[in-house]
Structure formats: C-alpha cells, structure tokens
Amino acid sequence: MKGRLIMAFHPTSTLSPEVHKESWEKLGNEHFDLVIIGGGSVGAGAALDAATRGLNVAVIEARDFAAGTSSRSSKMFHGGLRYLAMFDFALVAESLHERELSMSALAPHLVTPLRFLFPLTHPVWERVMMFCGFALYDLMGGAKTVPFQKHLSRKGALRLAPGLKKDALVGGVRYFDTLVDDARHTMTVLRTAAHYGATVRNSTQVTGFEKDGDRVTGVHVQDSDTGDTTTIHADAFINATGVWTNEIQELADVDAKFTVHASKGVHIVIPKDRFEGDAAICFVTEKSVLFVIPWGNYWIVGTTDTDWDMDRADPAPTATDINYILDELNSRVSRQITHDDIVGVYSGLRPLLAGKSDTTTNLSRNHAVARVAPGLVSVAGGKYTTYRVIGKDAVDKAAEDIKIRVPESVTDHTPILGADGFQALKNSLPALAKRLGVSEKVADHLIHRYGSLVDNVVAADPDGLKPIPGAPDYLEAEVRYGVTHEGAQHLEDILARRTRITMEYDHRGIDSAEAVADIIAPLLGWDDETKRAEIESFTSRMKGQLAAEKELTDAAANARLEEVSDPRTHLDESQDEQ
C-alpha cells in the first residue's frame, strides 16, 4: 500500500549505508508531496525548505551530493560586489542578506568572515569610484557583523599583502566577505533536510518520466551502483540539476521556458608559504575576476570564465587555463609561482541562463524558476550564496501542484546541523581539545567542519583520532564518519568531497587511497575485489585529470578524462554529453 503518511523509518540526519538501502524501498513504495531531482546546493536548499514546511519530500542525486558545480566554486559566500558595476542592486542586496544570515545564524561553523584586499591601480578616480561602490556595498548589508570598508595607502596595503609587487598597486581597500567549504555545506544542508523528515539519496539517476496526459506524475530512476530500477510518484517535481537542466527537460518532453549555458571556471591550489599575505585578494582582469583565497595551509587562486559544451560531470582543466591563472597572478606578485608549486587543480561549471549575452562573462547570475509542465518545475541560474532563496522560490512554484496546504518558508531562521552552540564551543576550544585528547589546532579543524556535531565524529571512531596516511590534516575518524553519517558511497566521495584531499595534496589523494579504502570497505560491505576496483578507479581518474592538465585545448583535455570511468558503474553517462 502506498500513501503519504507511511514512513519506512523515522526521520534521521544519519545518512548511513543502512538508511541508504531503506531509502530505496521508500522511494518506490511511498507517494511524496514533492521530489527534487539534483543533490547540489539548489536541490539541498529546496529539500530543506520543503521538509521544514512539513512536506513529505525526497531528493535524489545521480552521483554524489555536491559532485558537480557545488563542490567546485571559489569557496565563498559573497555579496557580488562586481554586480554593482552592472547596476544589479537587487542581486547584491539579496546576496548580502543571505551571506549575513549564513554567517551569523544559519551556518556559522561553515560560513566564516574573510578579510579581503582590493588593490587599487589608479590613484584618484579608481579610489573615488571604489569608495562609492564599497560604501553602497556596506550600506546594503555588507557591514553588519563585519567592519566597514577601510581605505589603505600603498604602504598599508602592502602590510596586508607583502607578497604583492610594489608597482602592482597604488593603494587598496580592505573589506569583508565569507569563506565556505561548498561541498561540506551542501551535504550538511541535505542532512538537515533529512533531520526534518526528507528522504535523501545519492547514486539515484532519473532515466525517464511518467505522465498522465501532460501532467508529470512520476520519475523512473536507476540505482547508479546496482542497476536496480523503480518509479517514484509525487504531486510535484523540481528539476534542480544545474548544468543538466536542459537534458532533464528534454527527458520529460516539456517546453522549456529557459535553457542553461555552461561556463567553465578553473582554480589552482598552492601552498600558503608561496605567497605572503594576511588577507584574500580580489583582482579584476580583462577576462574574469581573479581571487586569491586563503584555505587552511593553502591559497586557492582563480577563476577562469570560458564557454564549455563537453562532458559536464568532469569539465577538464587545461594547461591553457592554468597558464592564464599563473600569468595573471605572476604579473602582480613578487615571488613567481610555477607549475611545480601547484598541489591541486579543480574545474567546475556555472549554470548560467542562456540567451542573455553572446559571452558567458555577462550572462545573468540571477535565477529563474518556471512551471514547465503541470507537476514539473525547473530552476536554474543564480549564485551559491542565494541557494536558500532559490530553493524557497522553487518550492513556492511547485506548491501550485501539491495537494495539501503548503505553509510559508521558515529556512531563514532554521540553522543547519552543527550550528547550534557553535560559538560556545569555539569559546571553549582549549577545554574541548583537552577532552578529546588532541591539539587545539586539530580541535579547531573539527569544529569548523562539524560544529556542535564534533562529539558524534569522535564517537563514530574513538580510536580514529590519528592522521590519514598521506593527508595529515585529516583524521581517520572523519573517513569513518563520512560513510556512517554523511552518505559517502565510494572512495572518491571521501577523498574529493567529505575531505578535500584531492585538491590539497600534490598526490591528489592517490597516496591515501589504500588506507582510506581499508577504513571504509567493511562499512560499505566491500570484498577485496571491490576494494581493489575502487582504488584502481580512483587512481585512474586522478591520473586522467593530471594528464588533462597538460593538454592545451578543451577537446584534448576532455578526451583524457573520457578514457576513465565513473565508480558508479550503472550511471548513464550519455546525459553528460550535449
């Protein structure tokens, strides 16, 4: 018997292997109010919004949570300062409001203040212009829990960033934005949705739609790991698949109200000691905005902004992309950065609303929501910073097809898991470190990844408070917790998203793969053959990316990554091709 009130299991924020299996049964046996397709930031925001309105909601993801765009950003929640130059004041105001909400209330453990330097290169007119711009930025909400802008002389700016060339600036402006681990944030939002009753499942790919006339009533799905199939029924569905929006709309055979264009952004990661500075830096280049972002023991430098029309699951970075970033950076820093300094490279796609401009740089970052057919809503575009608003707008539109009364959104005052009590935990860091038997540095690392859930991480593996071989900044307990609580199904899920080992170590996780596989194999029921296949698959993918980074063209780099397969062996990768 199917019915809205049937619960296969009690709501839980624990995305364990057991819950993963139970979720599959629930998807095929229960009628949902709403099903969200896509486990990135927008899908996560919509899932939490729907769950906290009391809806029976499911969110499904073909690969891993945040496996696409939502793990490959510039790692910031920002107000969109450059959109002031486009006179997009509404977007800036909305972004600043959302940034402040996340930083102060919703996710203070994951969204933290980040001091920036904006170097000035012209002595008079640029300073006046930037003063006006930053003043507007601050007054629109950019300076609530962080300080107002401060204008600096050349000498003052160089004190903040001694690694810059003296002739690269005439002064600077200090301002604030925020830093966020995008993959961890998205996964934690999804876990929070599960805490409020959502059914959350990765490795679940949509293969087709079921209709009654022109009304969408169900989606056919396949388990990307086992090949099992089922059909999920609901009153309404939301297509929150980002750069795959067009393909899902085509699969549903609906008239699209908009389409999505992909723009590739590449970042490099270098050790912290390669550049001397005490703040993030924002440069404006002819082709893009170049950020230099402090990230633990590293700097993240990027990004690029180029058209992309090939594989969307693994957009390949090229030597041309990397050289562009290095050239722009080296024209401004005193110590030259070389390819040998790079420990990591990652590449992601921005899902931009198509048709606004011939070049991707000026395409709208605003989001669009449309009811493309009775029972099906598509949402696309927007900025990660405004994920909560985008999710709310999508649920509001889907409510037209949901049979029960849908209450108003409450996510503007619903903290995500780990946020409650974070500040008190931070204030008692020495006591926490002593209680856990770790250094204050390790304790600080843990609370800024898990917040008030830190004791759960330790409880999951009390003997695991030792570093991962080849990746000493992470603990073995974090690996176990990634499987038992955070829904990781594969080795790459752990090395690339539950931790960020693939972008923080020059071996890209290869040197840690066997040790991590040994930890998670018994948790996921792997035999020796499966464990070896996982290690080989991961190693092959990382070597494929390293090879792609040496190619000069997108086509050649993409071909390198086409040679390797996804660890989800039943994934239909034809949907990745345009």
Q: What is the DSSP string of 33-99?
A: EEEEE--SHHHHHHHHHHHTTT--EEEE-SSSTT-SGGGSS-SEE---GGGGTTT-HHHHHHHHHHH
CA nearest to 201, candidates 182, 220, 187: 187
Q: What does the alpha-carbon distance between residue 482 and residue 82 come to, in Å, rounded to a whole number? A: 36
**Residue 235: φ, ψ to 5°:** -70, -35
Give the pLDDT score at 361: 39
Contact present, 70 and 45 (Cβ < 8 Å): no
Alpha helices (H) in 501-527, listed in sequence order? 501-504, 513-524
For tokens 């920002």, what's the residue? Answer: 78
Asked if 535 contacts 513 with a C-beta cutoff of 8 angstroms, the reply is: yes
The C-alpha atoms of residue 67 and residue 333 are separated, in whole angstroms, by 33
pLDDT at position 29: 97
Ramachandran region, residue 496 (left: φ > 0; alpha: ψ -120 to 50; beta: rest): alpha
Give 218's strand partners.
210, 233
Sequence-separated (6 or more) residues with CB below 8 Å from residue 11: 194, 195, 196, 197, 198
CA-CA distance, 206 to 181, in Å (whole number)?
28
The Cα 345–Cα 545 span in angstroms is 9
The CA distance from 430 to 14, in Å, is: 28
Is the sign of the CA dihedral 411, 414, 417, 422 positive or negative? positive
Determine the pLDDT at residue 269.
Answer: 98
Per-residue pLDDT of the chain (578 residues; tens, 9 = 90+): 344 444 444 678 999 999 999 999 999 999 999 999 999 999 999 999 999 999 999 999 999 999 999 999 999 997 666 665 665 667 778 888 899 999 999 999 999 999 999 999 988 888 888 777 777 777 776 567 788 889 999 999 999 999 999 999 999 999 999 999 999 999 999 999 999 999 999 999 999 999 999 999 999 999 999 999 999 999 999 999 999 999 999 999 998 888 999 999 999 999 999 999 999 999 988 887 899 999 999 999 999 999 999 999 999 999 999 999 999 999 999 999 999 999 999 999 999 887 433 443 343 457 899 999 999 999 998 889 999 999 999 999 999 999 999 999 999 999 999 999 999 999 999 999 999 999 999 999 999 999 999 999 998 888 899 999 999 999 999 999 999 999 999 999 999 999 999 999 999 999 999 999 999 999 999 999 999 999 999 999 999 999 999 999 999 999 999 989 899 999 987 777 65
Looking at the DSSP assignment, which residues form a beta bridge with residue 266?
347
At 65, the amino acid letter reads F
Non-local CB neighbours of 438 within 8 Å, separated by 6+ positions? 446, 465
Place of tokens 């939002």: 189
Helix, strand and coil content of the chain, in percent to the nearest 5, comes to 45, 25, 35
Q: Are 267 and 362 in contact (CB under 8 A)?
A: no
Neighbours of 10 (CB within 10 A): 6
Q: Which helix (H) or strand (E) holds 372?
A: strand 367-373
Amino acid at 428: S
Cα–Cα distance measured from residue 120 to residue 129, given in angstroms and rounded to the nearest whole number: 11
The DSSP letter of residue 333 is: B
Return the pLDDT at 356.
38
Structure tokens at 234: 């609901």
**CA nearest to 25, candidates 43, 10, 7:** 7
The tokens for 140 are 């629109």
For residue 10, what pLDDT is reported? 60
- In contact, 274 and 292? CB cutoff 8 Å: no
Indicate the SS3 state at residue 408. coil
CA-CA distance, 83 to 114, in Å (whole number)? 19
Instruction: Count the neighbouring beta carbons within 10 Å of the beta carbon of residue 227.
Output: 10
Q: Which residue has the tokens 């709309």?
A: 249
